[in-house]
Amino acid sequence: MKPLFNPSLIKNIIGVLILLLLIKILWFAVEVAFFPAQGVDHTENKRAKPLYYRIKLTPNETPAPVVKKPTRPVGSIRDITLLGIYNAPDQVVVTIKYKGKTKVVGKGESVNGFVLQRAGNTFAIFTKDGKEYRVSLQSSKSKTGSIQTSKPSRQKKAVSPKGNGTEGEVVDVGDHKIIDRSLITHYTKNMNDIYKNIGIKDIKKNGKIEGFRVTFVKRDTPFAKLGLRRGDVLKAVNGQPLDSYKAAFDAYKSVNDTQGLTLTIKRGNKEMELEYEIN
């Protein structure tokens, strides 16, 4: 009977296996003895991170609090002084004093950011940055539609040389009239007296002012002596058109500094000029 396995072949296979096992054991011994446990046998040079410590050499002291210097707000409403008001249903104009200068301001116009919105008989309302500011005016009892001014300090009235107690005189010399300067001074300082003796109302065309109509003139007053009549329309002063409330106020303020005055009026359908000398 022929054997299933060749004994010499089996012997050779077993010998090879034993040889492989010895090689494996030998390699393991060399690995343990000469190689590191993990990775490559080297060390990485790292610079040590220095440690710093803050050392306070001075004793503990509480720092002095910082004191902020108070700053004055720029453009305060207190810088505005209300001198006069023209308050009509369709128009608001005020005269103010701002940083020593007199200005005329209409509704919607501004002074250093303060916008005039509306006015009553004794006050004006300004707005700035969404806030309202009320500026009061000490004035006498008034009617809407007239100009009001702050109550003036008591002053000695100018008396004409004739001694009749009137504030100056108006003299007709034919081609023109002579006005005593004391009369001009009185009315520029006492604006309410103007509206006791004469009434005026603006005239508009297409929404624009074309002049101011005289609604009444009190008898035997300086305004009657100036030659003005009821129904006259004041068109210009010294060639400057009276086409706005600002123009009217500017003319009113400057009249005390002039030597002569030319008033352009319209009487009926006729336009004429009234000449005045101021001395």
Residue-wise pLDDT tens digits, 113-160? 999 998 887 889 999 999 999 998 754 444 344 444 444 434 443 334
What is each CA distance from 5 to 8, 11, 16, 201, in whole angstroms? 9, 11, 17, 144
Same domain, yes or no: 182 and 145: no
State the residue range of the domain holding 237: 170-278
The pair of structure tokens assigned to 30 is 């060399």
Give the DSSP letter string of 209-242: EEEEEEEEE-TTSHHHHTT--TT-EEEEETTEE-
Domain with residue 137: its CATH number is: 2.30.30.830
Of 32 and 133, the structure prediction assigns the larger pLDDT to 133
Torsion, Cα of 109, 111, 112, 116 (10° steps)? -60
Same domain, yes or no: 233 and 175: yes
> Of the candidates 273, 237, 83, 252, which has an alpha carbon nearest to the alpha carbon of residue 184?
252
What is each CA distance from 189 to 63, 121, 148, 182, in whole angstroms? 60, 19, 12, 11
> pLDDT band for position 165 (50/70/90)?
very low
> pLDDT band for position 164 (50/70/90)?
very low
Instruction: Summarize pLDDT for 234-255 with one digit per residue, the tens.
Output: 999 988 999 988 888 888 777 7
Above pLDDT 70, what percent of the chain? 70
Angle at 222 between CA 255 and CA 245, to 5 degrees: 40
Number of structural domains (the chain) is 2
Distance, CA of 183 to CA of 180 (rounded, Å): 6
Torsion 219-222-225-228 (CA) sign: negative
DSSP 8-state code for residue 107: T
CA atoms within 13 A on the CB side of 56: 4
Q: What is the mean pLDDT of residues 81-105?
A: 77
Same domain, yes or no: 264 and 186: yes
Torsion 142-148-240-243 (CA) sign: negative
Across 12-21, 61-70, 72-81, the highest mean pLDDT is recorded for: 12-21
Same domain, yes or no: 142 and 175: no
SS3 245: helix
> pLDDT band for position 258 (50/70/90)?
confident
Instruction: Summarize pLDDT for 181-238 with one digit per residue, the tens.
Output: 888 888 777 777 787 888 888 888 888 889 999 999 999 888 899 999 999 999 999 8
What is each CA distance from 82 to 55, 188, 259, in whole angstroms? 65, 16, 29
- Per-residue pLDDT, 232: 95
> Of the candidates 154, 265, 244, 142, which has an alpha carbon nearest to the alpha carbon of residue 194?
142
The per-residue pLDDT of the chain, averaged, comes to 76
Judged against a pLDDT cut of 60, whether residue 72 lies above it is answered with no
Backbone torsions φ then ψ of 240, nearest 5 degrees: -90, 115
- Per-residue pLDDT, 2: 56
Same domain, yes or no: 190 and 272: yes
> Of the candidates 72, 70, 94, which has an alpha carbon nearest to the alpha carbon of residue 83?
94
DSSP 8-state code for residue 220: T
Give the H/E segment covering residue 10. helix 7-34
Give the end of a domain, one of 149, 178, 193.
149
Give the end of a domain, one of 149, 181, 207.
149
Q: Specify if 200 maps to a domain.
A: yes
Judged against a pLDDT cut of 60, whether residue 71 lies above it is answered with no
Q: What is the mean pLDDT of residues 51-70?
A: 60
Same domain, yes or no: 112 and 202: no
- Per-residue pLDDT, 55: 58
Q: Specify if 187 maps to a domain.
A: yes
Judged against a pLDDT cut of 50, whether residue 63 lies above it is answered with yes
Q: What is the mean pLDDT of residues 263-273?
A: 93
Q: What is the mean pLDDT of residues 58-79?
A: 64
Q: Specify if 236 maps to a domain.
A: yes
Distance, CA of 92 to CA of 113 (rounded, Å): 18
Same domain, yes or no: 200 and 242: yes
Instruction: Summarize pLDDT for 13-28 with one digit per residue, the tens.
Output: 888 888 888 888 887 7
- Per-residue pLDDT, 234: 94
- Per-residue pLDDT, 119: 87
CA atoms within 13 A on the CB side of 191: 19
Q: Specify if 133 maps to a domain.
A: yes
Residue 39 CB neighbour total at 10 angstroms? 7
- Per-residue pLDDT, 266: 94
